[in-house]
């Protein structure tokens, strides 16, 4: 990483909110559900489908967790009313995991039950490693009652190959990603090349299992590896999809869609955009650099 990028990464938490918003708006559909609807419609016009995320995390107040449940109910109703090709993604700490696992599970159950009634799939996002065990436990509890729920594995974590084997055998619908949260070396790989290979190995374990796999990456090398692996293992197109984040590499998105693969875009919206945006910008400080260059060239 260049010195400029390193400086940008360090300075980001100190940057005023309006500046973060300026650079981060490409990653977020907008503040309102209507903004998300318009974005999903546009993506559907490009041959993509979506997973809608109501921004919010690290909720410490049960009232706020209840508000998040209500917001998701509204999203679910809107997906049906507006005929959107979309499902939803939900964060455990937004459902109250930081307050207690029972509360989070009960809130998640309400969301999953309503989604089941409407025939919509729910993805439980994976947050930092302090939440992994509880998230998998909640997923498993919900899976006993509902079939419309799936979870996420992060290739960065050393435990993931074993989780992928187990969940794959159980027929779980898994989103596999690299993992955005930086974790201690004792539990996570740090080198990008090792994370890439860990992703390939976890994907192989999932393909060997019985479940559906969502391959969430913008790393073209990994996409190529995934396609080669699917062909080698005889995994049909109907058993996997690709997933990308809103605002990241639309050209690659078009390449995947025109090759005839299912491509789902993660569409976050809402007023709690700040922590999500900071994570995205930290991940790719080149965005800030390109933005600043364009700004000063005007």
Site for ligand FAD in 159-178 (CB under 6 A): 177-178
Tell me: is residue 91 an annotated ligand-binding position. yes
Determine whether 175 is an active site residue.
yes
Tell me: is residue 67 an annotated ligand-binding position. no
Tell me: is residue 144 an annotated ligand-binding position. no
Alpha-helical runs (H) found in the chain: 3-11, 17-24, 33-45, 62-81, 101-118, 132-145, 160-170, 192-208, 220-233, 250-258, 274-283, 286-297
Asked if residues 175 and 206 have their Cβ atoms less than 8 Å apart, the reply is no
The smaller minimum CB distance to ligand FAD, of residues 77 and 187, is found at 187
Select from 1, 6, 7, 16 the least CA-distant residue to 277. Answer: 16
CB of residue 52 vs ligand FAD: minimum separation in angstroms?
12
**Beta-carbon count within 10 A of 7 CB:** 11
Separation between Cα atoms, residue 66 and residue 30, nearest integer Å:
22
Q: Which stretch binds ligand FAD (CB under 6 A): 32-40, 109-117, 216-224, 225-233?
A: 216-224
Tell me: is residue 138 an annotated ligand-binding position. no
Asked if residues 192 and 170 have their Cβ atoms less than 8 Å apart, the reply is no
Which of 248, 256, 267, 288 touches ligand FAD by CB under 6 A?
248
Tell me: is residue 201 an annotated ligand-binding position. no
Question: Residue 138 contacts by C-beta under 8 Å, 6 or more apart in sequence?
Answer: 92, 97, 101, 104, 105, 108, 124
Separation between Cα atoms, residue 216 and residue 192, nearest integer Å:
16
In the shown chain, the binding pattern of residues 75 to 114 toward ligand FAD, with x for contact by CB under 6 A and - for none, equals ----------------------------------------
Which of 43, 112, 126, 174 touches ligand FAD by CB under 6 A?
126
Separation between Cα atoms, residue 92 and residue 100, nearest integer Å:
10
Which of 20, 71, 76, 287 touches ligand FAD by CB under 6 A?
287
**What is the Cβ-side half-sphere exposure of residue 204, based on CA atoms within 13 angstroms?**
11
Which of 31, 85, 114, 249 touches ligand FAD by CB under 6 A?
249
Which of 28, 142, 152, 205 touches ligand FAD by CB under 6 A?
152
Separation between Cα atoms, residue 96 and residue 57, nearest integer Å:
8
Structure tokens at 140: 């498993």
Determine whether 125 is an active site residue.
yes
Q: Does 216 bind ligand FAD (CB under 6 A)?
A: yes
Which of 94, 107, 132, 154 touches ligand FAD by CB under 6 A?
154
Binding residues: 91, 126, 154, 217-218, 279-280
List residues near ligand FAD by CB under 6 A. Answer: 125-126, 152, 154, 177-181, 216-219, 243-245, 248-249, 266, 280, 283-284, 287
Binding residues for FAD: 126, 154, 217-218
Catalytic residues: 125, 175
Binding residues for substrate: 91, 279-280
């Amino acid at each position: 990483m260049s010195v400029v990028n390193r400086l940008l990464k360090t300075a980001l938490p100190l940057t005023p909110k309006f500046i973060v918003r300026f650079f981060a708006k490409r990653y977020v559909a907008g503040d309102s559900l209507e903004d998300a609807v318009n974005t999903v419609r546009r993506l559907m016009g490009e041959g993509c489908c979506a997973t809608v995320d109501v921004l919010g995390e690290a909720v410490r107040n049960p009232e706020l967790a209840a508000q998040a449940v209500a917001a998701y109910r509204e999203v679910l109703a809107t997906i049906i009313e507006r005929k959107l090709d979309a499902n939803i993604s939900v964060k455990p700490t937004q459902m109250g995991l930081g307050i207690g696992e029972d509360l989070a599970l009960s809130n998640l159950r309400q969301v999953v039950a309503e989604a089941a009634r409407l025939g919509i799939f729910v993805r439980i996002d994976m947050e930092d490693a302090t939440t992994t065990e509880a998230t998998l436990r909640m997923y498993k509890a919900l899976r006993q009652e509902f079939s419309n729920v799936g979870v996420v594995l992060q290739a960065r974590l050393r435990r993931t190959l074993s989780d992928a084997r187990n969940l794959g055998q159980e027929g779980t619908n898994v989103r596999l990603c690299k993992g955005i949260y930086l974790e201690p070396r004792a539990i996570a790989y740090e080198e990008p090349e090792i994370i890439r290979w860990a992703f390939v190995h976890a994907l192989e374990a999932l393909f060997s299992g019985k479940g559906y796999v969502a391959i969430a990456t913008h790393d073209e090398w990994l996409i190529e590896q995934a396609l080669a692996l699917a062909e080698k293992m005889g995994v049909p197109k109907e058993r996997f999809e690709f997933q990308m984040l809103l605002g990241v590499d639309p050209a690659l998105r078009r390449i995947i869609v025109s090759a005839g693969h299912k491509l789902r875009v993660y569409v976050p919206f809402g007023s709690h955009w700040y922590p999500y945006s900071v994570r995205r910008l930290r991940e790719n400080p080149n965005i800030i650099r390109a933005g600043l260059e364009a700004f000063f060239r005007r």
